[in-house]
Amino acid sequence: MAENASENLDTECCPKKKQKVENTPDEIEKKHDTADDVDEFLQDIANFQVKNILRNDTTNKRIAVQGLFKGRSENALIVLEKKIFPEEREILQEGFFDSNSSSKKIYRNDIYRGYDWFPMKQHNGLNVTITYPATNKHIEKWMPPEYYLIEETPELYKNVTLPRLLREPFSLQWVDNILNGTAEKDRVIYNDADNDLGFVLVKDLKWDDQIQTLYLLAITRQRIRSIRELNETHLPLLKNIKESACKAIEEQYKIPRSQLKIFFHYQPTFYHLHVHFTSFAVENAGAIVERAHLLTTVINNIELVSDYYEKAVLSFRVPKLSSYTPYSEYLDENQHVKKKSRFSD
């Protein structure tokens, strides 16, 4: 699944985000995932030349590199991430604590010992995401950012955010492919075909199918950009997503609603309304306080004030100065106009 929107409007670099929407239909040929596509890159991986290390995230054990495949002129982005440990006692016993594991002593201090440990080969694997061809926006997404806080009023949304969305549209073809069943059918968990209340619950590419790191997206069939456009007419849709998706998750994965984080992003990484469903074990920048809006809170706010999100000040952070500048310039210009008006009076 692809999930990425204008980096200028995005607030955070999230691991293994859906990256197809950086490319519009006019920029690259539309392709769906096939076994042949995967094999093509596996054959080329030995000829991959690293040009830049974009980010080495030691906390999340993840590294993003920019480079070239031999014989290809366009940039590739490869993200390598350590896999989580298995929770099954038998797998740990056989894979990590048997004669096939090897180790090298690093230190000993009283009762404490440190080692480099090398379990069986199949437990040393990495999760790998390849984006090719990678645009400048894909690459910038993984460069270490500086953050700037924006307190977006309805006025700022109307005069800065929305015009930029309309001026710099990004393809949502990948979303339509999921909704109409032409892509990622094997990743769909639940499908409600109703045009008004319906949605598709699909596995996020960040998820490696380990239950403890569950990550799903509920993508609405209605074309709603973000929570900014939500009002009381959307309450049936939001409640249906909450009830039906939670039921489907509990039936398939035995995870009750009380053990799920259910939230929107604002600003989102792609502007088609979607809800994130994760387990509490998932701790990433997507759930930070200035970005995540709990589904239950959104529903309650709209029940209290029908057009709450059309009127609210929504705070979010952007990862580089170029994203912040249009907002600061607009505010500075308005302040200048107000001062000039006062002096004229």
Q: What is the pLDDT of residues 100-137, one digit of tens each?
A: 888 888 878 788 888 888 888 777 888 888 888 898 88
Q: Which amino acid is at 279?
A: S
CA atoms of 227 and 44, how far apart (whole Å): 42
pLDDT given at position 205: 82
Q: How far apart are the first and last CA of the chain?
A: 57
Exposure string for 173-195, b = 16+ CB within 10 A, e = fewer: bbbebbbeeebbeebbbbbbeee
Residue 278 near residue 206 (C-beta atoms within 8 A): no
Average pLDDT over residues 157-173: 91
Cβ-Cβ contacts under 8 Å for 204 (sequence gap 6 or more)? 1, 3, 18, 215, 216, 217, 276
Best CA proximity match to 3, nearest among 238, 330, 276, 340? 276
pLDDT given at position 241: 98
Q: What angle do CA 130, 135, 136 make, to 5 degrees?
A: 120
pLDDT given at position 18: 42
Structure letter (DSSP) for residue 86: P
Higher pLDDT pick, 343 / 125: 125
Residue 91 has pLDDT above 60, yes or no: yes
Find the DSSP H helices in the chain.
35-44, 89-96, 136-141, 154-156, 162-167, 173-179, 235-253, 295-304, 308-311, 321-344
Residue 36 has pLDDT above 60, yes or no: no
Residue 262 near residue 295 (C-beta atoms within 8 A): yes
Q: Is 265 a known active-site residue?
A: no
pLDDT given at position 190: 98
This prediction's pTM: 0.63
Higher pLDDT pick, 232 / 167: 232
How many CB atoms neighbour CB 14 within 10 A? 20
**Chain mean pLDDT for the chain:** 84
CA atoms of 117 and 95, how far apart (whole Å): 12
Residue 79 near residue 129 (C-beta atoms within 8 A): yes
According to DSSP, the residues that pair with 315 across neighbouring strands are 151
Strand order through the sheet with 62-69: 48-57, 62-69, 76-82, 126-131
CA atoms of 122 and 125, how far apart (whole Å): 6
Residue 157 near residue 226 (C-beta atoms within 8 A): no
* Window from 112-126, 243-257, 299-313 with minimum mean pLDDT: 112-126
pLDDT given at position 44: 67
Average pLDDT over residues 35-61: 75
Say which of 138, 234, 265, 274 is annotated catalytic.
274
What phi and psi, each to the nearest 5 degrees, are found at residue 220? Answer: -75, 150
For the chain, what is the radius of gyration of the CA atoms? 23
pLDDT given at position 341: 53
Read off the tokens for 52: 């830049």
